[in-house]
Structure 1
Amino acid sequence: MICDLGWFADCVQLNHGLHFFEDVEWDYEDANFIIFCDASGVGLGFYVPSKLLGFASSIPPNALIPNILFYESLTVASAVAWATELHPPQRRLLVYTDLLDSDEMFHSLRAGEGYNELLLFVTERLIDQHISLRVCHVAGVNNPVADAISRGLFQLASQLVPGIRIGFFEPLQNTLGAVKK
């Protein structure tokens, strides 16, 4: 709790305005940018339809919580980190995940121990870049490309999306619970 309050105090001190979030609702069709995420027992993957891009990673060996919720949430956080580096920034980012618990965690900004680092990281990036994020559930059958990428089935992903380019990403190391030196 002390760590979280310290993070909040730092954000308040560094923020350049009076409001952290612009309280404006927007619908799915108003999204500037869409990313589909998935995690499997062998890897992480996200897919950016508008750019015909996919990104894959192996399951991190040093995860703080080695379960599918953590991996799916780590994938969402990694996709958000990638999207916040785009220029110009995309103001309304819509991220789909096929794990309902991950969707709820990002929607409520409430999580159990070990997940707060992911939420704080994402929140800080969104505030810094003035991006509004919606994380929404998508049925697994409607998420075949990210699913294929997360399983390392790149040929299948290429069949589903001809012309897709697939690269690799390293999951966010500062959110894995590694001991700081």
Structure 2
Amino acid sequence: MLWYEPYQKQYPAKQTRLLQLFDLLGIPHEEPKQEWGSSLVIIGFSFDPNAMTITLPPSSRLELITALRQFAQPGTRRPLRDFERLAGWSQWSFNVAPLLRPGLSHMYDKMAGKSEVFQLMWVSVALCRELLWMAERLEASDGVLLLDSLEWSTLDADLVLYTDASAAGMGIWCPSLHRGLHSLIDKPEPSRIFFYEVLAVVSALTFAASFNHFHRIVIFTDNLNTVSMFNSLHAKPDYNPLLITAMNTLLDNNLQLRVLHIPGSENVIADAISRSNFDIVASKHPESTLHIFSPPELSSGSKSI
């Protein structure tokens, strides 16, 4: 430790020398920002590099939950400024609760293209469902993010799945279990193929969760937009129930997910299953079994409204 005269405090020697260097060079600094110790408070979060955790203080979590519930009053009108304020506050919490990002889909959709801060906007039922979903998930959370859960590769995966969708159906292929899953699309709509590409991934995640012993899941798809959606956890309102359903599955089962891209030329088995070309699967993997699956029921947020 070394004494730093301007602040009349002891700091770790290297930190004191750095402050002295700042003074010599004329670089401004402030006493409240001179944090040090085994755990640091940064932008309102407690960072513990030894435990590899980021913690949302209970008081801050409770304040955000209260704000979300107070805002979620369907049929009321609020100025754009209030929308922006709650969106920014929620974004801050995503540093600890990143899986709750889909909760702002309708919020961003309503704010898009608007700039007059006092413009009144309706609070819709759909928006309330998403905000209350975030509030309920924050209430059930301990407010701690394990940083080591964010960094892992395909080599660490407990289960690897491949998905694809065609105009005729959806296919899921699980090499390690020698199992294929198929679901027919009753009323094919070429314009909705992206919806089914994402639904195939959500269905594959539901399948993985059903085993109760896999933890890290990797799902390959040849649709780049699907990969982008799961990487950003942002979707237009029409597609957002797919993300919310997937996040519910992850949170309820303590799962970790990676959705990665695979070229279509390498996604042969999942593609064949989606097109009901089961002979291709049997010829390449004679030991495999094929099953019919039903996609999970999608959730648009809280069921309390």
TM (norm. structure 2) is 0.53
Higher relative contact order (CA 8 A, sep 6+): 1
User: Is 1:80 the equivalent of 2:205?
Assistant: yes
- Return the index of the structure with the highest Cα Rg: 2
Match of 2:156 among 10, 30, 51: 30
- Secondary structure of the residue aligned to 1:171 is coil
Q: Deviations over 1:86-144 (max 9, x none)?
A: 132x1110000000000110111011121110101111110111111000000011110
Match of 1:102 among 202, 221, 226: 226
Inter-partner Cα distance in structure 1 for 2:276 and 2:145? 38
Counterpart for residue 193 of structure 2: 68
The aligned runs of 1:1-181 (5 Å cut-off) are: 1=106, 2=127, 3-15=129-141, 17-19=142-144, 23-61=149-187, 67-88=192-213, 90-174=214-298
- Secondary structure of the residue aligned to 2:236 is coil
Q: Which runs of 5+ in 2 are unaligned?
A: 1-105, 107-126, 301-305
Q: Which runs of 5+ in 1 are unaligned?
A: 177-181
Inter-partner Cα distance in structure 1 for 2:144 and 2:233? 17
In structure 2, give the amino acid aligned to 1:143.
Answer: N
Asked if structure 2 preserves the Cα contact closer than 8 Å seen for 1:148 and 1:157, the reply is: yes
TM (norm. structure 1) is 0.88
Counterpart for residue 179 of structure 1: none
1:73 CA drift (Å): 0.2
What percent identity do the matched residue pairs reach? 33
- Secondary structure of the residue aligned to 1:79 is helix
Inter-partner Cα distance in structure 1 for 2:296 and 2:146? 24
1:72 CA drift (Å): 0.5
- Secondary structure of the residue aligned to 1:113 is coil
Inter-partner Cα distance in structure 2 for 1:99 and 1:111? 15
Q: CA RMSD in A?
A: 2.1
Inter-partner Cα distance in structure 1 for 2:188 and 2:132? 26
- Secondary structure of the residue aligned to 1:167 is strand
Q: Looking at secondary structure, tell me which structure has more helix per residue.
A: 2
